[in-house]
Structure 1
Amino acid sequence: MSERVALVTGSTSGIGAAIARRLVRDGYVVALHSRSSAEVGRAMVRELKNASYHQADLGDETAARGLVASVLEAHGRLDVLVNNAGLSIRIPHTDLKAATPALWRQMLDVNLIAPFVLVAEAEAALRASAASGPAASIVNIGTHAGSRPKGSSIPYAASKAALHHVTKLLALSLGPDIRVNAVAPGLVETPMTANWPDMLETWRAKSPMKRPAKPEDIADLVAALCANDYVTGEIVIADGGLNLT
């Protein structure tokens, strides 16, 4: 296990940082990534054994393609890809003009196209991993709003719904060498969502678990999907049961 490598995008804070730390505990060498918080990334490299840090703006296709090459240069292999990086902008669903074509393109670039580009770039390395061990694993981080008409904005929910469908299509295309699944969180306690008191109250009042998720809750689920050598094509909703209401 000690030589297996996992790339986790958007991994210097929130859910991504929790996933990176959990995978290190499971024995992976982790390649960290962020768009701008390089100082935090370098500090995490000092914290996490044998980790590396890679800076790239995933809204830029060339930078996204270069991220996988940078990880392979640093580690020589890739066994797990976690597409966690994403863009969410709060726009009331009734304010159609605020959801401009430019914002649509921005969210589609980061939330849908970039993960697909990373999978395409990583495919050969992931297949090479499977040739000498268990199936490689891709885990995409979607959202419960990709499965029901909710979310911080219509463009965000639509981009993640498309990512869910792409997850299933990729599972069909890449198996058995590469398993592809998605985790679809509801509200997660992060610095960003601390400014969303209305959403926090919704989870405390309406969800069966009476709380939003912690980043570690999502990280545990990602780790379980990475560890399982059979499950593929699944969208696992992790919203404390709010989808039941």
Structure 2
Amino acid sequence: MGTDRADRPVALVTGSTSGIGEAVARRLAADGMRVVVHSRRSTEAGQALAAELGGTYVQADLAVEDEARGLAEAVVDRHGRLDVLVNNAGVSRQIPHDDLAAASPEEWRRVLEVNLIAPWVLCTAALPALRAAAGGGSIVNITSHAGVRPKGSSVPYAASKAALNHVTRLLAAALGPGVRVNAVAPGLVDTPLTRDWAQAHALWRERAPMHRPARPAEVADLVASVVASGYLTGEVIVLDGGLHLT
């Protein structure tokens, strides 16, 4: 058992060395939480960010069930608690929706393993600690606009996010009042991953009422608000600059 028993709430943010995950980690740390940074491979970046935020870093490949489960267990072992779980890590690959051959069963398994099954494993492993959290635990799943509308980088990706949205509602009904479960579903977010997605950027500039994609910090602001709300549960909050209106 680790020696860190600080009174600050502990938040685990998966996939948190860049993009949305990094912004969420920074925001929750600014809100006074001790943040556990996670990545699959970027060990140096993860350790550097954790040190900057006064948190800790754990590496794990969420496509491997034992490593996903071990990630939650390592957080509780190190800190003695886990109050907030943000399932942000995900995989995506651009596949035209009409290219059915490219969306092979292997691709489906790869995407579902990380985007859907891993969050389930983490929720399961973290549940005892979340139930013990003062004021109740909070799970926030980062899903996607593509899980609500027929869009997205590929059919397997959109389906994985739609499934995670429904899992969010099912878990909220099953785990309340001790654990709240919500989802934040961003549309296009301006990150290094999406910088070359010219067609998507054009769509948001031309059709979204806000005429631009979201910034990672704006997603993080919403996540922090969801975490802070002691009553909100079972919601899938779309953050797409109003594109769903058009």
Corresponding position of 1:92: 96
1:179-235: CA deviation from partner (whole Å, max 9, x where unpaired)? 000000000000010011111111011100000000001000000000000000000
1:23 aligns with 2:24: no
Q: Deviations over 1:43-62 (max 9, x none)?
A: 1122112x000000000001
Matched, 1:45 2:50: yes
1:171: which partner in 2?
Answer: 172
Separation in structure 2 between the aligned mates of residue 179 and residue 125 of structure 1, nearest angstrom: 13
TM-score (norm 1): 0.97
Q: 2-side partners of 1:81 and 1:46: how far apart?
A: 20
Residue deviations 1:115-134, cap 9 Å, x none? Answer: 000000000000111xxx21
Structure 1 position 157 matched with structure 2 position 158: yes
- 1:10 matches 2:15: yes
What letter matches 2:198 in structure 1? P
User: CA-to-partner distance for each residue in 1:99-128, whole Å, 9 max, x for gaps?
Assistant: 000000000000000000000000000011
**Distance in 1 separating the partners of 2:26 and 2:35:** 8
Query: By how many angstroms is 1:7 displaced?
Result: 0.2
**Gap change, CA 1:216 and 1:40, over 3 Å in 2:** same
The DSSP-based 3-state class of the residue aligned with 2:195 is helix
Which segments of structure 1 move beyond 4 Å, counting only runs of 4 or more? Answer: none
Number of aligned residue pairs: 241
* Counterpart for residue 85 of structure 2: 81
Q: Distance in 2 between matches of 1:45 and 1:56?
A: 15
1:2 Cα offset (Å): 5.3
Aligned amino acid, residue 202 of structure 1: L
Tell whether the 8 Å contact from 1:2 to 1:29 is kept in structure 2 after alignment.
Answer: no
5+ long unaligned stretches in structure 2: 1-5
Could you tell me which runs of 5 or more consecutive residues in structure 1 were left unpaired when the two chains were aligned: none
SS at match of 1:229: coil
Look up the equivalent residue of 2:113 and give its one-letter code. Answer: D
Measure, in 1, the Cα distance between the counterparts of 2:95 and 2:42.
25
CA separation in 1, counterparts of 2:50 and 2:34? 11
Q: Alpha carbon RMSD of aligned pairs, Å? A: 0.9
Q: Which segment drifts farther, 234-243 or 67-76?
A: 67-76
The alpha-carbon deviation at position 36 of structure 1 amounts to 0.5
- 1:25-68 CA deviation, whole Å, 9 max, x = no partner? 1010000100000110011122112x000000000001001001
1:187–1:200 Cα contact (<8 Å) kept: yes
Shift of residue 174 of structure 1? Answer: 0.5
Which residue number in structure 1 is paired with residue 136 of structure 2? 135
Partner AA of 2:117 in structure 1: I
Partners of 1:94 and 1:135 in 2: CA distance: 44
CA distance in 2, matches of 1:119, 1:45: 22
Aligned-pair identity in percent equals 61
CA distance in 2, matches of 1:128, 1:235: 24
